[in-house]
Structures are given as structure tokens and as C-alpha cells.
Amino acid sequence: MSEQSHTGRLSTLAAALVVARRDFTAILFSRSFIFFLLGPLFMMALMYVAGGVGQQVRQNASRPELGVAMNAADADALVRAQQVLAPRLGPAMPTLVVVRKLQPGEAFDPLIAMKSNRANLAAIVSGTLEKPVLTGPEERIADWQGRVALLTAQALQRGPTDFPEVTLAGIATSTADKTQGQRSTAQIGQTVLFMLMMILAGMVLSNLVEEKGNKIIEVLAAAIPMDAVFLGKLFAMLAISFVGITVWALVGGSLWVSAGNGLSDYPAPAVGWPAFFALGVIYFAMGYLVLGSIFLAIGSLATTVREVQTLSMPVTMLQLLNFFFANFAMAMPGTWVEKAAMIVPFSSPFTMLARAAQHEGLWLHAAAIAWQGLCVAVLVRGGAAMFKKRVMQSGPAGATKRSLFRRAPA
């Protein structure tokens, strides 16, 4: 027969699942969790409304411009054609800016003009109306080729089916621009990961202090192993965190897409968006389990909310230092600083997520996830041992002192 049948108690894993299911259900359908979810959603709604107030101004300020570098007659004809078509095509028609009216025989280099101080100059049309040349980033001019053909046909007063052939002169994105864009993606990923971990890890402490005050921990300790209580609470909080992140992501993503945004507007990470999001979920889970195990161990030392705040403050500050450490390591690739940030379990999730945005290849992430999993197992086991020691002392030790105090008068 199994050990479970001999002892009459559940195994540690089975008991942990029972505790996790109990905590997950209790927290998920509680009013406090609903209000906890509504807080960020309310902020998202305010940001969406505030962003919509000046949306038209921002669109006009940041709308990509199409430069024109032709002789005076062709340039003026193209501008008039744009004025005719713009009311019908709306935002689909690019804003034209005359970069230069060329003199007969004057040479012109579109690449130099593209590197000018005009921040919104996305492409330049040169040549003649009969043979226009569109110069710009390859992904941009491929979309604008048809619009330029329509403009030149209107400028030439041709029929609706007679369009001149537009020659494309693509400019590949420079390595420096690509690197800078991926660095921005890495910084955003690190910041979002840090904020989610700090916001959601606090639920572990509040839930534990509440159950210690209600003596529920003592009841659970009498029925199942304390290690199972620790593991159950930790993984229940992780599951609750994923519920919160899913709700916020769905609502925030809907508002973001409805505002006309898309992933194509942002620099793509080196591993691609699907792998980047998948790694973000994994690294969040690893970082949350590490931080949650420490917070649970701290919660076992506290008896009031005030004590929780006092004891958790050093951990919060240390986690902030780990975030800055990972951010600093991102700027020093290939050095011992980056390697140390990858190894330290508290900074490793932030560092590896930034690396996913800047470097291709997934084998190093597999090794990092395995290492983080080992660190999680060690820290969870250590936190469970501390949790077991402190919680068991709060019950039996207190009872012993009371019984001795009662026997003293006799």
C-alpha cells in the first residue's frame, strides 16, 4: 500500500494542489481581487481618453512625409495632384513636401536628403513624372508605390488606368538603427516585467498575513505538511497573477489596437515577437516564483500588515537594484557584468528577456531557464523550511508558553 494510505494524509504534491485550488478559487472570486483588477484598467481607460484628446494633433505632427525632388514644373504639378486627391483618399495619401526644385542638369542624391534634419521625411520621389523614382526604406516604399503612381498619373492628367511605372530604390535599415530599436524593445520589456512582478508579488504577503491572523494556517498545518501549504500558496498566487495579466493584456491590447497601433510600428526583437512574448511569460513565472518564495518567508515572520511593510521594504529595494543591474548589463554586452547578471537568479529574468530582444538564437535561453528553474527549486525549498519553522513556532510554541503560565500558580 502507498504511504498516503498508511498515514491517512495526502502527499506533499497532492496537498499543495488542494491548497492551490482553494486559494485560487477564494481569491479569484473575492471582491478585493476584482477591485485589484479594476485599478490598472481604470488607469488604461484614463490614458486612452487622454490620448484621444490630442490624437489629431499627434497624427499631424508625426505623420510621415513624402519628399519631392524634381524640376519646378513637375514638383508643382505633383503638389496640385496631391491637393486634388487628398480629400478623397484621406490619411492614405501621404503629405508632400518639396525638398528641392532642381535646375536643368542639377544632380541630386536622395540618400543625403533622407539623412537631413526632417524627422518625418519617410521617402523621396525624384526623377520625372514620366519615370518617377521612389527612394526610402524598403518596407515603406513598397506600400507607397501605388500611391505615388496615382499621384503622378493625376499630375499628368492621364486616364484612370494609365499609370507610370514607379522605380523603387530601397534603403536597407542601418545596423545602428536596428540595434537602437532593439535596445528600446529590450528596455520596455524589462520595465514591464519588473512592474508586473512588483505589483503582483504583494498579494502573497497580504493573503498570508490575513490567514495567520484568522488562525487558518494552524488548521492547515494540522491536516497537511507545511511544505505543501507553502507550495500551494505560491503557485496559486502565480496562477492568479496570470489571470490578472491576461485580463489587463486583453483590455489594454484592445484599446491599443483600436487607437490604430500595431506591432509593426515598433522595432521587432531579434527572436521575433512570438518567441519574445513566450519567453516573457516564462521569465515572469521564474522571477515571480523566486520573489514570491522570499515574500512568503518574510510573511511568516510578520504578524501584522505594518510588520509586513517593514520587512518587505529591503526586499523591494534589492529587487529594484537587480532591475538596475540588469539594465546596466544590457549596455555592456559580452562583459563579465552581463554574464553575472545572467547568473544571479534575481536579475537573470530581466537580463535574458533583454537579450531576447537584441540577439538571435534560443539555446542560451534554454540553458538560462534550466538554471533559473534550479534556483527556483532551491529558494522555494529554503523558503518553505523557514516558513515551516516560523509558522509552527507561532502555534505550538505559543501554546506551550500559555500552558506553562497556567500551571505556574499551582
More confident residue, 61 or 265: 265
Has residue 53 got a pLDDT over 50? Answer: no
* Region of 157 on the Ramachandran plot (φ > 0 left; ψ -120 to 50 alpha; else beta): left
More confident residue, 9 or 119: 9
Percentage, residues of the chain above pLDDT 90? 16
Q: Would you state the pLDDT for residue 199?
A: 83
Convert the pLDDT of each residue in 224-245 to its tens digit: 777 787 788 889 889 999 999 9
Q: Would you state the pLDDT for residue 275?
A: 93
More confident residue, 22 or 158: 22
Give the H or E element holding residue 397.
Answer: none
**SS3 (DSSP) at 270:** coil
In angstroms, the CA 302 to CA 309 distance is 9
Percentage, residues of the chain above pLDDT 70? 73
Q: Would you state the pLDDT for residue 81?
A: 87
From first CA to last CA, the distance across the chain in angstroms is 48
More confident residue, 277 or 319: 277
**What backbone phi and psi angles, to 5 degrees, belong to 119?**
-70, -30
At position 87, the amino acid (one-letter code) is P
Has residue 410 got a pLDDT over 70? Answer: no
Has residue 268 got a pLDDT over 50? Answer: yes
Average pLDDT over residues 15-35: 86
Has residue 279 got a pLDDT over 90? Answer: yes
Which alpha helices (H) appear in 132-215, and where do they start and end? 138-155, 175-213
Average pLDDT over residues 107-122: 68
What are the grid coordinates assigned to 224, written together? Answer: 497537511
Has residue 313 got a pLDDT over 70? Answer: yes
Q: How confident is the model at residue 369 (pLDDT cuts 50, 70, 90)?
A: very high
In angstroms, the CA 108 to CA 119 distance is 20
Query: Domain map of the chain by residue range?
Result: 3-48+176-395, 62-172
More confident residue, 356 or 400: 356
